[in-house]
């Protein structure tokens, strides 16, 4: 019942609020994209167009409020890459797709992410709004992980057996890995103790869920995320202690079954299981298609068809790699736009992670670290799963892009220190 009331309140109340304050409609839309109420509370929330209702109100409110502020600064590059990726998928649909309806469905699903990204980028104009978006993402993923933990300790590993929201265990692990580094640095950016406590709890339930998802790609990416986080944390004792405590908790949560399965990732060809060996073959098939159709690929969402027709895989087989499958379906330019979307964000934020970065608001540095750690984990983990439509990483980039947009408001000049009112030396006594 609580899930039904929560969903209806946010859907219809949020739709009305969005007409006057579209930013809050954006937060609700992002939360729904992660929580997926119809899956999270499937026993009480009926099938409905909850996200669509909020999205329509959000777009109307955005238009009524003048379409936001388009002075995007350095964040414009991410929007250009995203539009380029969507546009190239449209060209691939027109010129390469054997089944255009599959391409149109792909374009529709990506437009549901691109439009809110554009709206958010033009609406958000201060650091408080960036933080609210970040907390919305972090709390939503943490709650999903909490529910998965609750099911696991009640005796049924729902995450491993069924996944969540139409995603299997590996796909859910990608989302969780992306959120671990995000929530870790979100705790550093918090200014009150209870927010830091919530962030720490979110990190722990997400790490534990990754462990019992039994996803090798998820665990490998979690290790990469930890390494990136170590490079990014401020060089102070309290930050090192926090990092070591998190690592210790992760090691404690990883049981022998998890470690034994993870070890097969690096096994010799003779010792690999069928799943690991099959992925290598699928990646090779993608590379062959990329060489065959380098410009537009074989068409959006068309790899499963060619995998069956040309390589003998069962019908519906995915490539188990976001990057290889996107390259096969959209060609080198299409996957290049997608990679550039993420790497441009990381590259632009990198100078802001240094303690010497001149800003009057230290949380700007934590936001930059948060986004970089999250995207590093995502880019590694997504190499093992095909999931172009996972919304959360796109919204993590939105946090990074909005941080770049508002950071100049808090910038300090790179000037050497000087005393504007130096103390005058006493005049020498006359003799």
Report helix, strand or coil for 411: strand
| All structural domains of the chain with their residue ranges | 1-67, 68-410
Write phi, then psi, for 16 (nearest 5 degrees).
-65, -45
User: Do residues 82 and 114 make contact, with C-beta atoms less than 8 angstroms apart?
Assistant: yes
Low-confidence stretches of the chain (pLDDT < 70) are: 235-236, 238-240, 242-276, 413-431
Cα separation, 416 vs 353, whole angstroms:
20
CA angle, 101 then 387 then 350, to 5° = 125
Write phi, then psi, for 164 (nearest 5 degrees).
-160, 135
For position 424, what pLDDT does the model report?
41
For position 33, what pLDDT does the model report?
93
Residue partners of 29: CB distance under 8 A and separation at least 6: 51, 54, 55, 58, 116
User: Do residues 125 and 402 make contact, with C-beta atoms less than 8 angstroms apart?
Assistant: no
User: Do residues 40 and 59 make contact, with C-beta atoms less than 8 angstroms apart?
Assistant: no
Cα separation, 384 vs 242, whole angstroms:
29
Q: Which of 385, 390, 306, 399 is nearest to 345 (CA)?
A: 399
- Give the pLDDT confidence of 95-150 residue by residue, as tens digits: 999 999 999 999 999 999 999 999 999 999 999 999 999 999 999 999 999 999 99
Is the torsion defined by CA of 26, 338, 401, 184 positive or negative?
A: positive
Instruction: For residue 13, give the DSSP letter.
Output: I
- pTM higher than the cut 0.95: no
Q: What CA dihedral angle connects 314, 318, 320 and 325, to 10 degrees?
A: 130
For position 327, what pLDDT does the model report?
96
For position 274, what pLDDT does the model report?
57
Is the torsion defined by CA of 149, 8, 13, 395 positive or negative?
A: positive
Q: Which of 372, 295, 361 is nearest to 334 (CA)?
A: 295
Element (H, E) at 1: none
Burial of 360 (0-12, 13-18, 19+ CB in 10 A): exposed
Cα separation, 349 vs 371, whole angstroms:
8
For position 358, what pLDDT does the model report?
87
Counting DSSP H helices and E strands in the chain, the numbers are: 19, 0
Cα separation, 27 vs 46, whole angstroms:
22
Cα separation, 191 vs 377, whole angstroms:
25
For position 386, what pLDDT does the model report?
77
Cα separation, 121 vs 116, whole angstroms:
8
Instruction: For residue 261, give the DSSP letter.
Output: H
The dihedral region occupied by 369, where left means phi > 0, alpha psi between -120 and 50, and beta the remainder, is alpha
């Amino acid at each position: 019942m609580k899930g039904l009331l929560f969903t209806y309140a946010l859907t219809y109340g949020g739709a009305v609020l969005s007409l006057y304050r579209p930013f809050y409609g954006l937060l609700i839309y992002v939360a729904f994209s992660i929580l997926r109420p119809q899956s999270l509370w499937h026993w009480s929330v009926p099938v409905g167009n909850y996200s669509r209702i909020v999205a329509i109100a959000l777009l109307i409110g955005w238009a009524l409020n003048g379409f936001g502020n388009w002075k995007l600064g350095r964040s414009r590059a991410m929007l250009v890459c995203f539009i380029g990726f969507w546009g190239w998928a449209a060209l691939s649909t027109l010129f390469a797709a054997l089944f255009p309806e599959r391409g149109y469905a792909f374009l529709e699903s990506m437009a549901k992410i691109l439009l809110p990204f554009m709206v958010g980028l033009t609406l958000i104009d201060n650091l408080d709004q960036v933080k609210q978006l970040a907390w919305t993402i972090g709390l939503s993923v943490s709650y999903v992980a909490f529910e998965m933990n609750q099911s696991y300790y009640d005796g049924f590993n729902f995450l491993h057996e069924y996944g969540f929201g139409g995603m299997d265990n590996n796909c859910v692990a990608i989302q969780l890995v992306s959120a671990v580094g995000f929530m870790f640095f979100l705790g550093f950016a918090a200014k009150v103790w209870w927010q830091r406590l919530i962030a720490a709890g979110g990190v722990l339930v997400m790490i534990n869920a990754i462990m019992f998802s039994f996803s090798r790609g998820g665990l490998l990416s979690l290790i990469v995320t930890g390494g990136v986080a170590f490079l990014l944390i401020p060089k102070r004792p309290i930050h090192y202690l926090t990092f070591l405590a998190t690592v210790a908790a992760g090691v404690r949560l990883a049981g022998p079954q998890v470690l034994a399965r993870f070890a097969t990732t690096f096994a010799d060809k003779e010792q690999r299981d069928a799943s690991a060996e099959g992925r290598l073959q699928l990646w090779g098939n993608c590379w062959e298609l990329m060489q065959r159709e380098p410009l537009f690929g074989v068409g959006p969402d068309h790899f499963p068809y060619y995998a069956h027709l040309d390589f003998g895989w069962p019908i519906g087989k995915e490539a188990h790699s976001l990057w290889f499958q996107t390259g096969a379906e959209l060609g080198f330019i299409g996957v290049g736009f997608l990679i550039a979307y993420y790497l441009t964000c990381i590259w632009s934020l990198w100078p802001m992670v240094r303690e010497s970065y001149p800003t009057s608001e230290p949380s700007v540095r934590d936001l930059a670290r948060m986004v970089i750690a999250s995207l590093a984990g995502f880019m590694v983990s997504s190499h093992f799963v095909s999931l172009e439509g996972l919304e959360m990483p796109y919204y993590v980039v939105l946090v990074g892009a909005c941080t770049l947009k508002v950071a100049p408001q808090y910038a300090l000049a790179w000037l050497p220190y000087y005393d504007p009112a130096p103390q005058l030396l006493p005049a020498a006594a006359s003799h």
